[in-house]
Amino acid sequence: MVSSGENSYFLRAFEALGITEDRRAADPDAQPTIGFKAIMREAADTRSYAAALSVLVVAEWLYLDWASRAPQPLPANFVHAEWITLHDNPDFRRFVDFLRAELDRVGPAQADLCRDFSRRAVGLELAFFQAAYRDR
């Protein structure tokens, strides 16, 4: 679910924007992206379901919240409209609800760990968006 429809969407969006595979391979990741990849690996390395959920809930709930606030009608360009519909639809809402419910279920037993991963994930998401807007 995390990357199902998104993978083909990103490939089509890159093509529409003229971003080649060579460029994607050559362009370095921004610091927030490096940090988010690292925290996802770190959460996975803990082998803690609660740690992984703590990172996923931040990212997925944020995208649902953001997409659900998009003005209607959606933009004509599929690059924008499809990103919104990928993150604001009944299946995605159920997925985010599931992640949140699971974190509510297992998180309290590892509260300090969850709090640590959640706080750092929020900081990385904030840095990601700040960088995106700063680089415009």
Residue 3: pLDDT band with limits 50, 70, 90:
low
- CA 113 from centroid of its chain's CA atoms: 20
Average pLDDT over residues 73-79: 96
- CA 119 from centroid of its chain's CA atoms: 15
Average pLDDT over residues 96-115: 98
Classify residue 61 by burial, with Cβ atoms within 10 Å: 0-12, 13-18, 19+. middle
Q: Residues 14-55: pLDDT tens digits?
A: 999 999 999 999 999 999 999 999 999 999 999 999 999 999
pTM of the shown model: 0.90
Q: What is the pLDDT of residue 133?
A: 86
Buried b (16+ CB within 10 A) or exposed e, 64-92: beebeebeeebeeeeeeebbbbbbbeeeb
| Helices marked H in the chain | 4-16, 21-26, 31-46, 49-68, 78-87, 90-106, 111-134
User: Residue ranges of the domains in the chain?
Assistant: 30-134
CATH level 3 topology of 30-134: Heme Oxygenase; Chain A (1.20.910)
